[in-house]
Structure 1
């Protein structure tokens, strides 16, 4: 059956999220925990302006979630440990030959390669819980993968990273050919574009080992938004230049060369942990809006909004301060997952 993952620019029936639960990711002080709750809530409220939002909430967090979330956000009680919905949740697909058919790919989730600090056993069940709630046909996969590790154009092209799907902590026995075969079976990818690596900080212990959704996004067929670090003092200056050079040699499923549009990084280079990987590429496109990451840099945030507005004409760009998200290992795209509309 020819399942196909639509472009993220297609219409959505719903955005799925998970509300934070106490643990390593949320933080070990009251201030850090409150910051995390507030930021996840802000993204949920921003997305709900454009698309219905359902958020999974652990029983231990129900009282807090009901207090913080508006009535526009639907709460679904479910066990939650990790709360990066893009990665642990399902990847929704449709069947072009069966209008109205919705599928949900259930990748194997092992906490980004089973690091010692990660908790993922509850999150690994989220795809099945959501598939049932959404009335989707479950598509089981033995591939260890995360939604942040793929990006598609809806016409058969998928972007992957060699250090993610071929990570020996994830898929020690797979090669590119087997990964590509699984991408074809599950999301209808007929052309795989492999990136050699991701951003520098993403290889820290709390990173994902190179997720594509912080580096590159296909805004429309044949057009890629690419993270561009413009300061030579940052190690990603060379990384982003090399990725641009690599992508200029690639074509999509239709044989088109890519037009590359740079999304310049904000001016901040470091935080207390080292070089930051702050990226405007990690945004959510949903119906008539775009939820963009902001980094407290007025010039860069405004420039990014302008570029995103041009890339997604007719949509209103809303910026949410994403620094608390990136402090915890991701961005707006990482904590959201879209469910495509059917028959539109």
Structure 2
């Protein structure tokens, strides 16, 4: 059977025009947390903000119908499907386009490497459900992968980390060459840039083991923003230096040397439990005419907004307090998934 790339399909860049944004509503377990109000407020603020710019469809577990109705703007479309969790970037499909046709890459999802706390019997079906609702042609991959583990420039380049796609809990039998071949076949990319690791906190109990979308992201072809930690006391200080240096030494699929722009981390170093935070401005979301940034009530919020505003001219800069999302293991990019316009 031909691969998506052989048929001409490829994943567009996030800044390409969207048909809509897909999200999933917090239902139970770790993401809902001890205070569901924090989760409801954060997810709804993201959805309601995006809905001012483009259509939003929220997948809602039937058991969470009441809270979704209470918190979401009526402009947000709700569809009911069983859910374990609420990270649509990871459980949803990766959308592809080809000359006016929409397709969906359906990766295998196994709870971020079969984590002991994770449940994914319902979430493993969401990519197929969302693809069907979107009217997309489905292509099933053999790779265990999540949307937060990839970031493309729309011109043949993808960023990934060694600790996600080569994670023994995800793909124990796969090699670098095999991963690259599968990503090329499903995303239509020609160049894979491997970063060695993600942020330190992401390897804790509830982490993803190194998702790239909190570390580095393309903002336009040839230009990538990278998370840096200015404070040497934080364990991500060396991580940021290593990733920035590797990216500066890299070229994209068209042979261009990458322009690397550093986004300094917020000033806070630890949470109340003494653990290092992984607050990152990289985990933003681009949509039709806007950029939705993570805010942390931090002095560097404004600096990040100014840097991204310069890099993303013509887009309205919106900021949502992302601390409740990060406390649950991710950020704004992690709870959203774009469906490109065709």
Give the TM-score, by structure 2 length.
0.97
**Within 5 A, what are the aligned runs for 1:74-223?**
74-95=77-98, 99-223=99-223
Deviations 1:144-167 (A, max 9, x none): 000000000000000010000000
The answer on 1:314 being equivalent to 2:314 is: yes
Give the equivalent residue in structure 1 for 2:19: 13
In 1: Cα distance, 2:50 partner to 2:121 partner:
27
Give the equivalent residue in structure 2 for 1:44: 47
Give the equivalent residue in structure 2 for 1:34: 37
| 8 Å contact kept, 1:216–1:281 | yes
1:48 Cα offset (Å): 0.8
Structure 2 unaligned blocks of 5 or more = 1-6
In 2: Cα distance, 1:132 partner to 1:191 partner:
29
Give the equivalent residue in structure 2 for 1:293: 294
1:250 Cα offset (Å): 1.0
Deviations 1:27-57 (A, max 9, x none): 1x3xx21111111011001111111000000
Aligned residues: 335
1:260 alignment partner, SS class: strand
Structure 1 unaligned blocks of 5 or more = none
In 2: Cα distance, 1:24 partner to 1:209 partner:
17
In 2: Cα distance, 1:296 partner to 1:121 partner:
36
| 8 Å contact kept, 2:30–2:328 | no
The answer on 1:73 being equivalent to 2:79 is: no
In 1: Cα distance, 2:30 partner to 2:204 partner:
15
- Runs of 4 or more off by more than 4 Å in structure 1? none
| 8 Å contact kept, 1:3–1:185 | no
| 8 Å contact kept, 2:165–2:171 | yes
How big is the alpha-carbon RMSD for the aligned residues of Structure 1 and Structure 2? 0.8
In 2: Cα distance, 1:218 partner to 1:247 partner:
11
Give the equivalent residue in structure 2 for 1:3: 9
The answer on 1:279 being equivalent to 2:296 is: no
1:24 alignment partner, SS class: helix
| 8 Å contact kept, 1:248–1:258 | yes
1:24 Cα offset (Å): 2.2
